[in-house]
Amino acid sequence: MELKDKLFRKLEDKKQDMIETRRFLHENPELSFEEHNTAKFIEDFYHDKDVKVINNMGNGYGIIVEISGKGPGRVIGLRADFDALPIEEEADVPFKSKNEGVMHACGHDVHTAYMLHLGEALIDLKEEWSGTIKLIHQHAEEVPPGGAKSIVESGMLDDLDEIYGIHIFPAFDTGTIALVPGNAMAGRSNFTLTIQGSGGHGAMPHTTHDALVAGSYFVTESQTIVSRRMDPNDSVVVSITVFDAPGGFNVIQDKVVLRGTVRYLDEDNKEPAYEAMKKITRGIETSFDVECTLDYLYDYPVTYNHPRETQYVEDILKKSVGSYIDEVIHSKPFSGSEDFSYYLEKIPGTFINVGAKPEGMKEPYPNHHPKFLINEDSLLISAKTLGEVVLDRLEG
């Protein structure tokens, strides 16, 4: 029996274990940088196994599990994240979150569960492959500065030849693998704009410097960053997501706070977007006689899937179309962001999208939705996908 077949048989035997692990993690989500119990669960899983476990990696609870094969060879990294989101779950499932206001609404419970049991299967077969596999159980993907950058900066991944990761998406049919060569996910910058004016009575606006009107102008003017300052062929998004101006019906507030995000699929647009926003705030200061403080944070970079490694993955997985995979497709880049980008800045690899559309649901709830649901068949598909890729790439 070929090694791949042995691995697949082990993974098939572990399918129910994967589901049970996923449901336990789903019931017990923890926010970014607070994943103490999740990290302990992962550490305990590997406690009696013949591996090297390094915990408290980077700036939080990151864990690297090093599996050594029968002899020297290539070094491949596989990553799964394990933090949850500040969302009150509304999904009608028997394993609903037990932590009020916290939910695994992006599938990181799935990522962790399949990776644990894939790791277990690879450990069982370690005398049949050469090289080293490093499983990266990563904390804090959802909240900047994220966990990936600090793990990369630790130097513990400097010996990797390649790195791969998976994200599940209900938007794709279960059985679909979607690849994006090149720029695959957007870079991200976040900002907070505080506008300080001079408040007063709602009946006497002429005696005030109205920060709310200035903020409203910023909301509309900031949209021209994309429509009038960026190349129409580029993909750039500017979204105002918070406009905080509490007060009474007869009170003009003296201060408002706005927050938002900027996304771009080309790093060359990162600084021009910031410079354009600064010009707008300076104009608002002059026009409305207010003071603007712009706190602008360059966040996750563009996720760049290396074309060669993406092609490797496509060639590998197309051999399994008709078995556990229905199709391998190329999809459009996503405007969402991922700190997997930090690994790919230093290490060749690619980020793989795995379909997880629930059965019978034409329009599934998207990632980050309080009713987010997935098809649990995606656990075994994810494990087989990354397992097949890593065995092939260990051989180079």
Which tokens is 343 given? 């690994």
Give Cα 92 distance to the centre of its chain: 24
CA-nearest of 81, 128, 267 to 186 is: 267
Token pair 């507030």: residue? 253
Pair type for strands 176-179 and 327-330: parallel
CA-nearest of 343, 363, 390, 292 to 153 is: 343
Cβ neighbours for 4, distance < 8 A, ≥ 6 positions apart: 387, 388, 391
**Other CB atoms closer than 10 Å to residue 55's CB: what's the count?**
15
- Residues paired with 194 in a beta bridge: 257, 293
Omega into 145 within 30° of 0, i.e. cis? yes
Q: According to the 3-state scheme, what is the secondary structure of 189-247?
A: EEEEEEEECECEECCCHHHCECHHHHHHHHHHHCCHHHHHHCCCCCCEEEEEEEEECCC
∠ CA 18-20-26, rounded to 5°: 100
What angle separates helix 377-395 from helix 108-124, to the nearest 10 degrees? 50
**Other CB atoms closer than 10 Å to residue 356's CB: what's the count?**
28
Which amino acid is present at 97? Answer: S
What angle separates helix 108-124 from helix 3-13, to the nearest 10 degrees? 130
Active site residues: 83, 141
CA-nearest of 220, 206, 59 to 141 is: 59
What angle separates helix 15-27 from helix 377-395, to the nearest 10 degrees? 110
